[in-house]
Amino acid sequence: MEQYNNKATASLVLGIVSVVSVVFSLLWFFSLIGIACAIVGLIFGIQIRKAAQLEGFTPSGTANAGFILSIIGLALCALAFVVCVACVGLLSTAAIL
């Protein structure tokens, strides 16, 4: 059970880092850092959920919060990265005109 608590805490921390990195996503590499953290947080969250189904316990609130924050962070960071790429493309097109 202790290993699941550690993974739940790691999932929560990685989810928070991914959501906070959206604030700094004007620089494209913060979006990539947020995406990477969110993916790892999702992996930990999925592992906890599968272990809970197999062993018959309910995941803790920390595990659920980490899973949800990782999903939100992944969506927002991916959107911010797409917006950054679109802005760069728009600026390069405007420079030609």
| Per-residue pLDDT reduced to its tens digit, 50-63 | 998 898 888 889 99
* Burial classification of residue 9, based on how many CB atoms lie within 10 Å of its CB (0-12 exposed, 13-18 middle, 19 or more buried): middle
d(CA 13, CA 15): 5
Q: Are 31 and 17 in contact (CB under 8 A)?
A: no
d(CA 85, CA 64): 32
Across the range 63-86, mean pLDDT stands at 93
Looking up tokens 């999702």 gives 42
| Per-residue pLDDT reduced to its tens digit, 77-95 | 999 999 988 888 888 887 6
Can you give the pTM of this predicted structure?
Answer: 0.87
pLDDT exceeds cutoff 90 at 3: no
Q: Residue 80 in 3-state DSSP?
A: helix
Q: Which one has a higher pLDDT value, 97 or 36?
A: 36
d(CA 7, CA 56): 17
| Per-residue pLDDT reduced to its tens digit, 26-41 | 777 888 999 999 999 9
